[in-house]
């Protein structure tokens, strides 16, 4: 079957993966309202394309934290990729390198030694959200896998539980006293720039900058933590305005098309991160699948730029889109 868009990989992954593993990747928290909204919100942002502009040459290159990349499409830190494919994160990293883009790591010391360029500090998980699919499946890691960030520590094993084995295990490992002071501590053990991932408000944006964050990733953890928070694309502009250009702002959640990338940049994002498209394509076709996902998003984004009359990223402006909050609210006249 010819794959023509990123979303089609999810259907293939659903067929290939064990149900417990697919549900772990695909599901959200509680009612999964935010999970659906992460996608649906993009559809409510419309284009205002400009015409009769010479778009024979399109430049998608950009610089992220001093590192030049081929496009503003990057790979989010996504856990336990070896459940999707035996090569796991190794395959994803190779695909990112081949595409000339960035894959962000969750392991600071190992990441620095391995030549990674940035670390994402996830700040929205003092506890795991209520992921009811994992509870029903009594999710636990396959026996051939371990959590590398807990390796070498005497933290016990992730066993079957009455609900989610993962939630039960992580509940015993996470320090719920973590606060903004720990962002500063992390800067003492790594020289890598730290992206604070999980910010969706102006208030936390200002605190992140005050505490030394090199960048912010607007994220609701793939809608897996607190349900009924806004879609990330809806929260993006608030964060961008609060950042006031002091640090770059990125966004993840719900991106499945090159048009989504364009909309995010028009709202002020410096780039986007993808998560689920990576693990689904990895499950379907390994490294080749991840390469294809990155290429499809790149091609779609380039086409969107051309059809909108933009020849470089700096030409993508807020005037190229209209959102639902831009449109005047019309109050119907009272009936006589």
pLDDT tens for 27-41 read 999 999 999 999 999
**Assigned domain for 114 exists:** yes
**Distance separating alpha carbons of residues 246 and 240, to the nearest angstrom:** 10
**Assigned domain for 156 exists:** no
Q: Which tokens hold the place of 182?
A: 């720990």
Q: Which tokens hold the place of 1?
A: 């079957």
Q: Which residues, at least 6 apart from 206, have a Cβ–Cβ distance to it below 8 Å?
A: 242
Surface-to-core class of residue 59, CB atoms within 10 Å of its CB (0-12 exposed, 13-18 middle, 19+ buried): middle
pTM of the full predicted structure? Answer: 0.89
Indicate the pairing of strand 67-69 with strand 62-64: antiparallel
CB 126 within 8 A of CB 178: yes
**Assigned domain for 333 exists:** no
**Assigned domain for 101 exists:** yes
Say what the pLDDT of residue 155 is. Answer: 43
**Assigned domain for 165 exists:** no
Say what the pLDDT of residue 104 is. Answer: 81
Check if 85 is active-site: no
Catalytic, out of 82, 85, 221, 257? 221
Per residue in 265-306, pLDDT (tens digit) is 999 999 999 999 999 999 999 999 999 999 999 999 999 999
Q: Which residues pair with 119 in a beta bridge?
A: 105, 194
Domain range for 101: 6-143+178-323
Q: Which residues pair with 322 in a beta bridge?
A: 46
Surface-to-core class of residue 331, CB atoms within 10 Å of its CB (0-12 exposed, 13-18 middle, 19+ buried): exposed
Q: Secondary structure of the chain: what % helix, strand, coil (to 5)?
A: 45, 10, 45
CB 301 within 8 A of CB 256: no
CATH number of the domain that 232 lies in?
Answer: 3.20.20.70
Instruction: Quickly list H helices, the chain.
Output: 8-16, 19-26, 33-43, 88-99, 108-113, 132-137, 165-171, 180-186, 202-210, 232-243, 258-266, 276-308
CA distances from 139 to 19, 131, 203, 207 (A): 10, 10, 35, 35
CB atoms within 10 A of CB 172: 8
Total structural domains within the chain: 1
Residues making up the binding site: 24, 77-79, 122, 131, 197, 219, 221, 224, 252-256, 275-276
Name the stretches of the chain with pLDDT < 70.
105-112, 114, 144-175, 328-336
- List the one residue out of 186, 181, 185, 215 whose CA is nearest residue 198: 215
- List the one residue out of 159, 163, 116, 115 whose CA is nearest residue 141: 159
Residues making up the binding site for FMN: 77-79, 122, 197, 219, 252-256, 275-276
Say what the pLDDT of residue 329 is. Answer: 54
**Distance separating alpha carbons of residues 165 and 161, to the nearest angstrom:** 5
Distance of CA 85 to the CA centre of its chain: 20
**Assigned domain for 24 exists:** yes
CA distances from 294 to 262, 273, 288 (A): 15, 11, 10
**Assigned domain for 304 exists:** yes
**Assigned domain for 234 exists:** yes
């Amino acid at each position: 079957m010819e794959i023509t868009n990123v979303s089609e990989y999810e259907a293939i992954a659903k067929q290939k993966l064990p149900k417990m593993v697919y549900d772990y990747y695909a599901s959200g928290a509680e009612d999964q309202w935010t999970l659906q909204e992460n996608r649906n919100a993009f559809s409510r942002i419309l284009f205002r394309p400009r015409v009769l502009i010479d778009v024979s040459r399109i430049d998608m290159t950009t610089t992220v934290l001093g590192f030049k990349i081929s496009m503003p499409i990057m790979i989010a830190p996504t856990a336990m990729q070896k459940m999707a494919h035996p090569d796991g994160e190794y395959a994803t990293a190779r695909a990112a390198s081949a595409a000339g883009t960035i894959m962000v790591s969750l392991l600071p010391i190992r990441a620095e030694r391995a030549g990674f360029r940035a670390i994402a500090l996830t700040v929205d998980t003092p506890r795991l959200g209520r992921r009811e699919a994992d509870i029903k499946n009594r999710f636990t890691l396959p026996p051939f896998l371990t959590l590398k960030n807990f390796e070498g520590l005497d933290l016990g094993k992730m066993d079957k539980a009455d609900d989610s084995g993962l939630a039960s295990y992580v509940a015993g490992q996470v320090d719920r006293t973590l606060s903004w002071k720990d962002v500063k501590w992390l800067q003492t053990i790594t020289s890598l720039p730290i992206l604070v991932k999980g910010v969706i408000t102006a208030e936390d944006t200002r605190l992140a900058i005050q505490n030394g964050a090199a960048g912010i990733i607007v994220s609701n953890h793939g809608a897996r933590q607190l349900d009924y928070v806004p879609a990330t694309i809806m929260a993006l502009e608030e964060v961008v305005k609060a950042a006031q250009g002091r640090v770059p702002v990125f966004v993840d959640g719900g991106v499945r098309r090159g048009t989504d990338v364009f909309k995010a940049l028009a709202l002020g994002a410096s780039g986007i991160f993808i998560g689920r498209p990576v693990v689904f394509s990895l499950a379907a076709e390994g490294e080749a699948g991840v390469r294809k996902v990155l290429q499809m998003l790149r091609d779609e984004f380039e086409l969107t730029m051309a059809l909108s009359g933009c020849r470089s990223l700096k030409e993508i402006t807020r005037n190229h889109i209209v959102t639902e909050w831009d449109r005047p609210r019309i109050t119907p006249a009272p009936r006589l």
